[in-house]
Structure 1
Amino acid sequence: MALSPKAMLRIASMVRGDGVFNGEQVILRQWINESMIPRAYSSWSGLGYGYGWFITPSGYVIARGYGGQIIAAHKERQLAVAITSDPNHPAGSDGYFGQLLELLDGPLLAFGSSSRLELST
């Protein structure tokens, strides 16, 4: 799937907002919530996995693509994040992907607890 960073951010915003996009409920809130319940755990990253989302201990839900492409939403902190990376290199859980998780859990999570930044989507 090829998505622009803006499209990735729109998805993160919609998930963060319980399925609402541009003021309209486009995905049922119940489905969004059900998709974020861990159904299994990754043997590589240890993260929970719901219906299409990895779930982190800090509260992010993450869609993960090759090379470190990430769509992340954190409902409690009202964060929506799109990360694009080098699509020509794998981003293993024990390497580059782990560094991206540290970015999400560190400065971005701290930012979400103290301020709010609105981006045009």
Structure 2
Amino acid sequence: MKKILLILLALVVFSISANAGQVTIKNSNGDNIYIFDKLVFKEFWGSSTKIMGEITNNTENNYKSIYFQITVYDDKDNIIDMTHICIQNLNSGMTKSFLGYINDTPPSQYSKYKIEYYDSF
């Protein structure tokens, strides 16, 4: 099931703002698999970024841990930085808050970001 899920997840790229709003990752059938909501990229300790939000698991799977990679880009599509977020004990239908950090790069330097499924167990 894990391999099938990896194949079905779509790559998601969005423009960024201080309050990025909602991001949905869909499978090949167009079903909303994971919904990232209330996304905020906030300056933290001068030159770092705190990423906060909520994720909803719309799959039938219960996860002990699930990881996503967030990559941020400048206005010329160059990768500035990336981070991984881990959400623990995310059961089917559940919504949980998450928190992540990007060091040494304030959100004012980001033009867009990409969220990708990374791993789970």
Calculate the TM-score normalised by the size of structure 1: 0.29
Structure number with the bigger relative contact order (C-alpha 8 A, sep ≥ 6) is 2
Larger helix percent: 1
Calculate the TM-score normalised by the size of structure 2: 0.29
